[in-house]
Amino acid sequence: MAKLWKQLTSLEASIAGLAALMVLVTACTLAQVHLGTYAAVKAYIRAPLVYWSPEGASWRIPVFPGGGLVGLLLLVNLAVFQAKRLTTWRKAGLWLSHLGLIILFIGEFICGIWQVESRMPIDTGATKNYSEDYRLSELVLIDVTDKDEDKVYALSPERLSRAGVVTDARLPVTLNIKKFYQNAALEMASPGLKQPFTADTGIGARVAVFEAPPVTSDNEDDQPAAFVEVLAGGRSLGTWLLSASMGAPQGFDFAGRRYQLALRSRRHYLPFSLTLKKFSHDRYPGTDIPKNFSSLLRLRHPEKNEDRDVLVYMNSPLRYGGKTFYQASFGKEDTMTVLQVVQNPGWTLPYVACTLVSLGLLLHFLIKLRYGAKAA
């Protein structure tokens, strides 16, 4: 064990770890062509191991350490090296620089584990208090009986993907998720077409579903779909085909109340709201090339008695409530803004790390300059 520990904390291990990172970065870059940026980073950089499986096979085997494992080993290697070898004050600059690198590694781990990215499209004059996940979907059952308030029951993306019968004391009915598609193509069903799953209620009864591979382009989204059966009182109330691409939720009545079913992007609710007062889109003269676009927003936080206007534009995000709101895109002929919402508890660590590395290198240079002058 002592010999293994010595090898893991050696200079050779540092070189091997850096070489492994170079291989992973190269492989990740090439994999983006067919996987897309998000999936490639997840498979090569954030994963502890890189897996391979033959085309069409359901099994896979680890073939290379992933960025998560390599990063952890480099973090341990760097920390032990600093504790064992940088022991004199003449190496204070190197000590600071190495501490900055350690903080940078820690910040990446925090980002990989806890960072959440979502989007927030807002029409001019509209108000929103939630953002929508880029990739995850949720199944919701909404009680819309009361005019003043909707009661929403939401199933997590993890539970949705497992399918099967959902029994929850909070639900007024039982939901049977017969089939969930991560990505699906919908077409009007032709006469005589047979499919393994069909809907007998709602507009989905006339729609055919074809499973599609996950999208790889960063500019496209999966179109998930699900066949959901509603059970109550020992009988079936019907089977619905749900998909975000089908538009409005589909409804049914039970026990004197009105309910709606929907499959939508997972929502991340906020304790405050944003209202789009004005969206501005400037173009270069004589072209349609965007020069600048910005959003004038009204931020209201009732619990903090806060009501103010904020301007979000390129390279000038809004940081509020532990989240950062970036101006990402726009739509609907410049009447809608799209904000990227990022929640990263470690967002300050890269700034701290870079500051320490810079100060450490400067201090090391000054120490070398002083003692070099004395030696001369």
pLDDT by residue for the chain (376 residues), tens only, comes to: 677 777 777 888 889 999 999 999 999 999 988 888 888 999 999 999 999 988 777 789 999 999 999 999 998 888 887 777 767 778 888 889 989 999 998 998 898 888 999 999 999 999 999 999 988 999 999 999 998 889 999 998 888 888 899 988 889 999 999 999 999 999 888 877 788 888 999 888 888 899 998 887 777 888 999 999 999 988 999 999 999 888 778 989 999 999 999 999 999 999 999 999 999 988 888 787 778 889 999 999 999 999 999 999 988 999 999 999 999 988 888 899 999 999 999 999 999 999 999 999 999 899 888 776 565 5
Determine the Cα–Cα distance for residues 349 and 38; give it in Å rounded to an integer. Answer: 22
pLDDT for residue 86: 66
Q: How many Å apart are CA 290 and CA 95, to the nearest integer?
A: 46
Quote the domain boundaries for residue 10: 2-115+349-375
> What is the reported pLDDT for 241?
94
pLDDT score for 24: 96
Asked if 140 and 255 sit in the same domain, the reply is yes
Contacts of 72 (CB under 8 A, 6+ apart): 109
Of 224, 242, 268, the last residue of a domain is 268
Can you give the pLDDT at residue 90?
82
With contact defined as beta carbons under 8 Å apart, do 28 and 38 qualify? no
Residues 121 and 221 in one domain: no
Query: Looking at the structure, do residues 137 and 255 belong to the same domain, yes or no?
Result: yes
| Same structural domain, 177 and 98 | no
Domain boundary among 202, 235, 268: 268
238 token code pair? 């019907």
Question: What phi and psi, each to the nearest 5 degrees, are found at residue 297?
Answer: -115, 150
Q: Are 225 and 142 part of one and the same domain?
A: yes
122 and 97 assigned to the same domain: no
End-to-end CA, the chain: 47
> Which residue, 241, 268, 295, sits at the end of a domain?
268
Tell me the C-alpha distance between 369 and 102, whole Å. 26
* Structural domain total, the chain: 3
pLDDT score for 296: 96
Whether 143 and 246 share a structural domain: yes
Q: What is the DSSP string of 220-274?
A: -----EEEEEEEETTEEEEEEEEEGGG-S-EEEEETTEEEEEEEEEEEEEEEEEE
> Same structural domain for residues 258 and 299?
no
From CA 197, how far away is CA 222, in angstroms rounded?
Answer: 20
Q: Are residues 286 and 207 in the same domain?
A: no
One domain for residues 60 and 138: no
Q: In this predicted structure, what is the pLDDT of residue 325?
A: 97
Give the pLDDT of residue 358: 95
Longest dimension (CA), the chain: 94
Examine the domain organization and report whether 138 and 264 are in the same domain. Answer: yes
Q: Are residues 262 and 294 located together in one domain of the fold?
A: no
Helices (H) then strands (E): counts for the chain: 7, 18
Structure tokens at 276: 């789009």
Q: Token pair 């109330």 is at which residue?
A: 237
